[in-house]
Amino acid sequence: MLAARSEVQVDNDEVRVTEWRLAPGSATGHHTHGMDYVIVPVVAGEMTIVAPNGERSRAQLAAGKSYFRKAGVQHDVLNETSTEIVFLEIELKP
């Protein structure tokens, strides 16, 4: 698996904003979210999500349609499509 690419856009006492780019065939690798976060898809796409128990699910991304998740989420995120996935992760510092 290729590695997803990330670039920090904002990082201060309150928030960290990271742009994630997943080329076709790439993955973030398994990780645990240490902070509550908001995801903002920049382009439409489909993510494959793999839970720690190996269970797989698909999630549709629409450009500009955000969602919120609490800290503690554990998963791997894969791009099994033929188009790049781009989203911003906005982590809310406690």
**Quick one: which of 61, 77, 78, 88 contacts its own copies (CB under 8 A)?**
88
Q: Is position 71 an interface residue for its own copies (rule: CB under 8 A)?
A: no
Q: Is 37 exposed, middle or buried (0-12, 13-18, 19+ CB in 10 A)?
A: buried
Nearest approach, Cβ of residue 89 and its own copies (Å): 11
Q: Is position 23 an interface residue for its own copies (rule: CB under 8 A)?
A: no
* Closer of 30 and 67 to its own copies (Cβ): 67
Taking a C-beta distance cutoff of 8 angstroms, is the pair 22, 77 a contact?
yes
Q: Look up residue 75 and give its two tokens.
A: 């998963």
